[in-house]
Structure 1
Amino acid sequence: MKFTDGNWLVREGYQIHFPRVVYDYRVEDKSLTLFTPCKYINHRGDTLDGPLLTIKLSAPLEDVIRVQAWHYQGEKPKYPNYTVADQEKALNIDDTNESLIFSSGGLKLTVNKEHFQFVFENAAGLLTVSDQKGLAWIEGPEETTYMRGQHKLTVGEHLYGLGERFTPFVKNGQSVEIWNEDGGTSSEQSYKNVPFYLSSKGYGIFVNHPEKVSFELGSELVSRSQFSVPGEKLDYYLINGPTPKEVVSRYTALTGRPALPPAWSFGLWLSTSFTTNYNEETVTHFVDGMADRGIPLSVFHFDCFWMEGFEWTNFIWDRNNFPDPEGMLTRLKEKDLKICVWINPYIAQKSPLFDEAHENGYLIKKPNGDTWQWDRWQAGMGIVDFTNPEAVKWFQDHLRKLIEMGVDSFKTDFGERIPTDVVYYDGSTPEKMHNYYAHLYNQVVFDLLKEVKGEEEAVVFARSATAGGQQFPVHWGGDCDSTYEAMAESLRGGLSLTTSGFGYWSHDIGGFENTASPDVFKRWTAFGLLSSHSRFHGSSSYRVPWNFDDEAVDVARHFTKLKNSLMPYLYRQAVENNKTGVPVMRSMILEFPEDPLCETLDRQYMLGDDILVSPIFNEEGIGSFYLPKGKWTHLLTGETIDGGTWIKEKYDYFSLPLFVRENTVLPVGNSDQKPVYDYADSVTLKLYQIAEGANLKTPVVDYTGKLANEFTIAKKGDTITVLAAHSDKSYRIELVGIDAIQSVSAGEVVHQNGNIIIEVPAQTDTFTISL
């Protein structure tokens, strides 16, 4: 929200009060409280009349400083609030005549007592400053009040994040409202709003308010980032890196680490699409059609019309189209498929469940006690009140029956259009519940899946979220058009989301609205199957590849098999995400913060630590991409390119810019037919440009995430040594870009595609290669 009129004036109707001095302070065991009047105190009379801000500083985790500021502290508690880890580290404070210096790990905050100001620094130097006008209490029209935080931006500093945003990836110059809305992917609205941003300088700011937070990022004042909330309190965290990965890792330590999705969820998902006509015969035709064409399928998804129209949600199969749902699910599962069905948290008036939900108080109410209803989406629908424990149990019991029938996962659609003129069972503040509702909704479903199927099997396919929602993967990008422009905006949204702490992201391959041209569909297929999760889905037309052209079938087969073969690498990245919070699919700035050319890139990304992906967004098939410094090898062709340069090349539909960075040991599996298999059995370790003196550890996990083997690869002179932690299984070594060697200590040498491949037998603890 903007409060000023240019650089000098305040907007009409507003009055801004900001602290001038630290008049007094109180050091407690784990916090420092400052008392800061909004005027200079020259004599005792100045202590009368006028506001004073109370500011509490604490360190919930190392390298994190929490700033809480109040004008009035007498407000009754409002909830819900984000669940944030708070270990409250003991304070380290230095007190001088001019300053208070507060440290948390490598993060230092200097408070100027005489002319109020916050200066945040780390070992590398200055991070940001909140100057005397930065923290403020603001009076607005009609007795409205606001609290504002403001930080200086340095020259060339870029900001990212704030959830899944389809506007430009770099957020400088944007005004952003943290308010979940169902606006598609072509506007400034977002399904997933997260009040956290990351700075290219190596810090992040998380504003701990689930209600609407207004951000002005170099927009109201071009050299300031600003955030404001209605009311009398502001609560935010400044998080040190110094690297962007470390910032995201510490942010997810605060708000929750993503669960580890089951390995099968990384395979290809196929949907019925939304408004298409379908029954068991249609579904079987699609599933068998994929198998007949050699396209490995992992999950089949039933979209909305598995239930009768006008009755969403009723959790009841439409018996006209699915007369034997139990038998159908059994038959599909015999084809080695997992099953996902669409749900939402709304109960239509025609649903057989509406009367029960209304009478028992399971739906959100109006202030007068009536059930809140409207006609948008489903006629007369109400919204399940997940603050009511009985409503939660009731909702989960209906899902439980579907799980017992054979359903493995739920697409948790909607959850954004949540009204504020309502009353909740537990007395929650409606403005705080608007964004937080998505969190409760997905948690209710995810927790049930954990309970019934086990923690290792729980996964949802969610659209709405807010801070902390990364704990319930996975999320997809919502309703996009079927164009290159929509494909690019989708990627921007995904990169913003993963930069905001979400580990996984998917999108509707080929676009949701309308129907893509065969050209767009094939390019989007490559992009989709090189994302963390992959789903064919649309609105009014089927998204089976043969509906586009024969080549689309071949492209789908090619990239699905490629992704399945990369599962030893991808699932290891997922395990790391579960431990550290660093996303599997990540922006270039996260991986290469030292390279200024990576700061603005939003049409390419890293898939894990070592693979760079740059989708193609044009009919000419031109890939336009940037490779950071070092040697890069194309994963499919073996072509090696020196980085530090922009490149434009033409690619057919079976390729795209897909490069592996130097000094990488890439584990590739022995199967391309499914995402779940023994990743350690006959794994191929592909060695890319291993540097002299390298000593690389390459873990191989199994499909439950447990460590199955670990290889140590060292290079000294002309010798490469491979040490296997467990030698009970054979493996392969592939020397990429090397077509001749001197000798090996064991195994069989095979020449293939210009590379050397060595079959290493089981029971080989140590293996050497002489180049």
Structure 2
Amino acid sequence: MRVPRAIVALSSLAWATSTQTALASLSDGQWSLGEGFSLHRKTGQLEITKGNSSIWSTVPGKPFISASAGNDSVVGSSGAFKITEVDQDTCQDQSITGIDEIEWDGTVTGKATRISGELLKCGNASAQYALTFWVSNDLSDRVAFYVDISSSATSSGPLKKLYFRFSSSANEDFYGLGGQGSFASLKNQSIPVFSREQGEGRGDEPITSIRNANGSFSGGDEYTTYTGIPSYISTDSKVVYLSEKSTGYANFDFTQPDEVTIRYDSLSVDGAFTRANNLFDAIEALTAYTGRMPALPEWVDNGAILGIQGGQDKVNGIVEQGLSDDINCPIAGVWLQDWCGTHPQAGPYMNISRLWWNWENDEVLYPTWNEFVQNLRDQHNVRTLSYVNVFLANVSTKTTGYRRSLYDEASAAHYFVQNTTVNDTAVVSSGPGIEAGIIDLTNPGLRSWFEDVLRDQVWDANISGFMSDFGEYTPVTTDTKLYDTVSDAFFYHNAYPSQWAEFQRGVIEGLNLTSEALLFHRSAAMSSNRNMNLFWVGDQNVDWALNDGIKSVVTIMVHMGFSGYAQQHSDVGGYTTILTYNNLNITRSPELLGRWGELAAVSSSVFRSHEGNIPQVNAQFYSNSSTYSYYAYNARLFVSLAKYRRNMLKTESEPKGWPLLRPPVLYHPNDLRARNISYQSFYLGEHLYVAPVLDPQTFEVDVYFPGDANRTYESVWTGVVYKGGEDATVPAPYGKPPVFLVNGVRTPELEPFLDFVKKENGTKLSVD
């Protein structure tokens, strides 16, 4: 929350007097935390250093701990959540009564250093607090912290939230916090960390206002995201994160020039911070805690994964057309989300096709599912991906029939998240005609039963993975009940995506399919990455927009890369088609599909398309020979980079957590222009620099080349060499996204790509 300006000014004055007085009453001192880390008290400030490097410090004259009363308001609808922060009786003063060494398990010294004191003028109340620092045995290159505030009743109610403030440098920029799609640096922003539907528009107008009209919040804003992760990395190579246990709602406030404030919706929170030598080492330090993404199966390198709906005959026809000499599309797999059947859902102008969330094959669309999947592999070496999510839908009205009603079985066994008001399943709506429950992963009986369902009805068909969807819908109302009664729904919400990824990873490990299975998620939380081998950046609008269109894909990948997610991709062409009664319709053009395919080919770990939520009004890769030829060209471009990508995955992503897509700031943290590049350009590994075409009817791109004049960038298409620090306008016809060799390096892994460039440089593509 941003406290009103008048209150901020008063609070700062009060803190300045109280905190300085409290620190002055303590003698200067130094407390060793172990491994070279020391806490210092000097000149009205607390600071943690290692050698000559400052790791953490208080802001002179300002509080480092505070608290407030009041209950944040959270309203949810169909996976979208609107959060209103409420702060009452915010503590105005702080005292420090002591800095002591205490016994503490799991540390390198057997001890921790605790700062104790009192929060004062919390309305008519006060509260004791403790801030504890230590260096753990497990990760001795960082300092862990724990903030704990005693419960205290104010005139407005009990204290509920804490604030942890510390200094930053005025020129420090910030990256991470999960799937942030609107900003290059997060400097000057206040970022809420809460996983939810990202919305349709996210600030792109007029669609966001249309979607948010009449009290709705389905349009979202620039801060709503499927994936909120409480960690960031700064251009000072500082790493700050909350622990896996601290799953409550948090807000990271970077709006002040020389400080960071973490607002956390509880009276205790823990985490850690450190300072690395550079940004790559910072990512490695973060992922040493979170874990790193498991290896991608190598079959994904072989071509496109075709997103198709419509049944066996349609799929076979599109695959055979793509493999023909006329199209020459390398196909690694097909992704068939409608394997479980579809039903119409009413929408503006026309019905939208939705899936039956009952995890068995539909006997009309895919009557011989198991044999069909095997035949695709045997005849064409094409693998099949399906679709699974956290819901089970009531299929009693499914006109094409069903063999099992998983919804009825789970309801009878109380395997769903429950609602105590109705004393039954907490029914989740995803639009008219869908009645579903969300499985309760805190229930061991559910886990055992659902694992059997997946093994016997999903993996039995020799599929190679699926979209592992949702994870951000868990309700947070006071009448939400979980099997694990210790878990509070409000805190469990942000934990659910990690448990969903952990559960699915456990299933494929049990089936010995880790080298074969591809599971891609769009919602994640702290440490989800250790259990997912592919992240997908979610549902973007099928347009060119900044906050929720093709541009946002790159920005999300940038911040997810800083959050520990090395292996990412998007829906080629986007997903969300919007038809409104306001004379505004967002549908996919052939040009957008082609340019999105270029972007995916030179940025992503996997090349996969999606038909979108209303396929019949969108250009599809198979719509005509022009769209299929463009798509096939992009798939060949993707394949040509396979050896280069795979080498990076094996030597950098898997062992270190480094992302494939790297924003310029990673290599040039002191370049102020590089810091503010989000979607305009990026590195693919160390040796390629890319400036994608992300606007319609655009055939040349203005490119900034970071670095100094000793750094060179050679266009792979024209051979023109540009120098670091230079701006240039670069040609970008269809099929030739500006890609540059950095410093003239031609590694053996790049040879297939350079051969592709040589062979295809004369290819002409059309968007008819």
Considering the TM-score relative to the shorter chain, is it more than 0.5? yes
Residue identity in the other structure for 2:117: P
The structure-2 alpha-carbon separation of the partners of 1:39 and 1:322, relative to structure 1 and needing over 3 Å to count, comes to: closer
1:61-80, aligned counterparts within 5 Å? 61-72=139-150
Report the alpha carbon displacement of residue 284 of structure 1 after superposing the two structures with TM.
Answer: 1.0
Query: d(CA) in 1 for partners of 2:261 and 2:517?
Result: 38
Residue identity in the other structure for 2:501: N
| 1:133-157 deviation per Cα after TM superposition (whole angstroms, max 9, x unaligned) | xxxx996943242121112232221
The structure-2 alpha-carbon separation of the partners of 1:253 and 1:50, relative to structure 1 and needing over 3 Å to count, comes to: same
Report the alpha carbon displacement of residue 252 of structure 1 after superposing the two structures with TM.
Answer: 0.6
Residue of structure 2 equivalent to 1:616: 693
Residue of structure 1 equivalent to 2:601: 529
Report the alpha carbon displacement of residue 175 of structure 1 after superposing the two structures with TM.
Answer: 2.0
User: Is 1:325 the equivalent of 2:364?
Assistant: no
Q: State which of 211, 214, 221 in structure 1 corresponds to 2:247.
A: 211
Query: d(CA) in 2 for partners of 1:519 and 1:752?
Result: 19
| 1:129-180 deviation per Cα after TM superposition (whole angstroms, max 9, x unaligned) | xxxxxxxx99694324212111223222111111001121211222222111
1:203-602, aligned counterparts within 5 Å? 203-208=238-243, 210-219=246-255, 221-272=256-307, 278-292=310-324, 293-304=327-338, 306-309=340-343, 312-334=356-378, 335-350=380-395, 352-367=405-420, 369-377=423-431, 379-401=434-456, 402-421=458-477, 422-427=480-485, 428-471=487-530, 472-485=532-545, 486-514=549-577, 515-530=587-602, 531-537=604-610, 538-541=612-615, 547=622, 550-575=625-650, 576-602=652-678
| 1:506-537 deviation per Cα after TM superposition (whole angstroms, max 9, x unaligned) | 11112212332222222111001112222111
**Is the Cα contact below 8 Å between 2:195 and 2:494 reproduced in 1?**
yes
1:81-96, aligned counterparts within 5 Å? none
Report the alpha carbon displacement of residue 267 of structure 1 after superposing the two structures with TM.
Answer: 4.5
Report the alpha carbon displacement of residue 14 of structure 1 after superposing the two structures with TM.
Answer: 2.4
Report the alpha carbon displacement of residue 391 of structure 1 after superposing the two structures with TM.
Answer: 1.0
The structure-2 alpha-carbon separation of the partners of 1:38 and 1:449, relative to structure 1 and needing over 3 Å to count, comes to: same
**Is the Cα contact below 8 Å between 2:170 and 2:257 reproduced in 1?**
no
**Is the Cα contact below 8 Å between 2:303 and 2:639 reproduced in 1?**
no
Query: d(CA) in 1 for partners of 2:760 and 2:250?
Result: 57
Find the residue that maps to 2:429 and give its secondary structure. coil
Report the alpha carbon displacement of residue 19 of structure 1 after superposing the two structures with TM.
Answer: 4.3
Query: d(CA) in 2 for partners of 1:18 and 1:488?
Result: 45
Report the alpha carbon displacement of residue 253 of structure 1 after superposing the two structures with TM.
Answer: 0.6
Find the residue that maps to 1:623 and give its secondary structure. strand
Report the alpha carbon displacement of residue 596 of structure 1 after superposing the two structures with TM.
Answer: 3.0
| 1:715-746 deviation per Cα after TM superposition (whole angstroms, max 9, x unaligned) | xxxxxxxxxxxxxxxxxxx9x99xxxxxxxxx
User: Is 1:643 the equivalent of 2:724?
Assistant: yes
**Is the Cα contact below 8 Å between 1:271 and 1:303 reproduced in 2?**
no
| 1:252-271 deviation per Cα after TM superposition (whole angstroms, max 9, x unaligned) | 11011111111222444444
TM-score (norm: length of structure 2): 0.74
Query: d(CA) in 1 for partners of 2:190 and 2:438?
Result: 30
Query: d(CA) in 2 for partners of 1:546 and 1:311?
Result: 22
Residue identity in the other structure for 2:189: Q
Find the residue that maps to 1:668 and give its secondary structure. helix
Residue identity in the other structure for 1:164: G
Find the residue that maps to 1:609 and give its secondary structure. coil
Report the alpha carbon displacement of residue 664 of structure 1 after superposing the two structures with TM.
Answer: 2.8
Find the residue that maps to 2:534 and give its secondary structure. coil
Report the alpha carbon displacement of residue 341 of structure 1 after superposing the two structures with TM.
Answer: 0.6
**Is the Cα contact below 8 Å between 2:184 and 2:675 reproduced in 1?**
no
Residue of structure 2 equivalent to 1:79: none
Residue identity in the other structure for 2:484: D
| 1:15-38 deviation per Cα after TM superposition (whole angstroms, max 9, x unaligned) | 245343535443653332324223
Query: d(CA) in 1 for partners of 2:301 and 2:559?
Result: 21
The structure-2 alpha-carbon separation of the partners of 1:259 and 1:39, relative to structure 1 and needing over 3 Å to count, comes to: closer
Report the alpha carbon displacement of residue 503 of structure 1 after superposing the two structures with TM.
Answer: 0.7
Report the alpha carbon displacement of residue 460 of structure 1 after superposing the two structures with TM.
Answer: 0.5
**Is the Cα contact below 8 Å between 2:246 and 2:270 reproduced in 1?**
no
Report the alpha carbon displacement of residue 409 of structure 1 after superposing the two structures with TM.
Answer: 0.2
CA RMSD of aligned residues (A): 2.9
Find the residue that maps to 1:461 and give its secondary structure. strand
Report the alpha carbon displacement of residue 574 of structure 1 after superposing the two structures with TM.
Answer: 1.0
| 1:36-68 deviation per Cα after TM superposition (whole angstroms, max 9, x unaligned) | 22379xxxxxxxx95332222112323311111
**Is the Cα contact below 8 Å between 1:252 and 1:581 reproduced in 2?**
yes
**Is the Cα contact below 8 Å between 2:115 and 2:130 reproduced in 1?**
yes
**Is the Cα contact below 8 Å between 1:365 and 1:371 reproduced in 2?**
yes
Q: How many residue pairs end up in the alignment?
A: 604
The structure-2 alpha-carbon separation of the partners of 1:555 and 1:396, relative to structure 1 and needing over 3 Å to count, comes to: same
Q: Percent identity?
A: 20
Query: d(CA) in 2 for partners of 1:223 and 1:157?
Result: 8
Find the residue that maps to 2:647 and give its secondary structure. helix
**Is the Cα contact below 8 Å between 1:384 and 1:391 reproduced in 2?**
yes
Query: d(CA) in 2 for partners of 1:554 and 1:375?
Result: 40
The structure-2 alpha-carbon separation of the partners of 1:240 and 1:425, relative to structure 1 and needing over 3 Å to count, comes to: same
Query: d(CA) in 2 for partners of 1:445 and 1:570?
Result: 25
The structure-2 alpha-carbon separation of the partners of 1:218 and 1:71, relative to structure 1 and needing over 3 Å to count, comes to: same
**Is the Cα contact below 8 Å between 1:67 and 1:236 reproduced in 2?**
yes
Report the alpha carbon displacement of residue 251 of structure 1 after superposing the two structures with TM.
Answer: 0.7
Residue of structure 2 equivalent to 1:768: none
**Is the Cα contact below 8 Å between 1:23 and 1:37 reproduced in 2?**
no
1:621-640, aligned counterparts within 5 Å? 621-629=699-707, 630-640=711-721
**Is the Cα contact below 8 Å between 1:215 and 1:225 reproduced in 2?**
no
Query: d(CA) in 1 for partners of 2:698 and 2:153?
Result: 54
The structure-2 alpha-carbon separation of the partners of 1:546 and 1:465, relative to structure 1 and needing over 3 Å to count, comes to: closer
- The structure with the larger Rg is 1
The structure-2 alpha-carbon separation of the partners of 1:26 and 1:144, relative to structure 1 and needing over 3 Å to count, comes to: closer
Query: d(CA) in 2 for partners of 1:752 and 1:144?
Result: 65
- Identify the range of structure 1 (607-616 vs 137-146) with the bigger mean alpha-carbon deviation: 137-146
Query: d(CA) in 1 for partners of 2:576 and 2:490?
Result: 31
Query: d(CA) in 1 for partners of 2:200 and 2:646?
Result: 28
Residue identity in the other structure for 1:529: A
Find the residue that maps to 2:161 and give its secondary structure. strand
| 1:361-402 deviation per Cα after TM superposition (whole angstroms, max 9, x unaligned) | 211122365222133346331111111222112212222122
TM-score (norm: length of structure 1): 0.73
Residue of structure 1 equivalent to 2:90: 14
The structure-2 alpha-carbon separation of the partners of 1:362 and 1:54, relative to structure 1 and needing over 3 Å to count, comes to: same
The structure-2 alpha-carbon separation of the partners of 1:502 and 1:580, relative to structure 1 and needing over 3 Å to count, comes to: same
Residue of structure 1 equivalent to 2:135: 59
Report the alpha carbon displacement of residue 71 of structure 1 after superposing the two structures with TM.
Answer: 1.6
Find the residue that maps to 2:495 and give its secondary structure. helix
Find the residue that maps to 1:33 and give its secondary structure. strand
Alignment gaps of 5+ in structure 2:
12-86, 203-222, 344-353, 397-404, 578-586, 762-768
Report the alpha carbon displacement of residue 452 of structure 1 after superposing the two structures with TM.
Answer: 1.4
**Is the Cα contact below 8 Å between 1:31 and 1:57 reproduced in 2?**
no
Report the alpha carbon displacement of residue 426 of structure 1 after superposing the two structures with TM.
Answer: 2.2
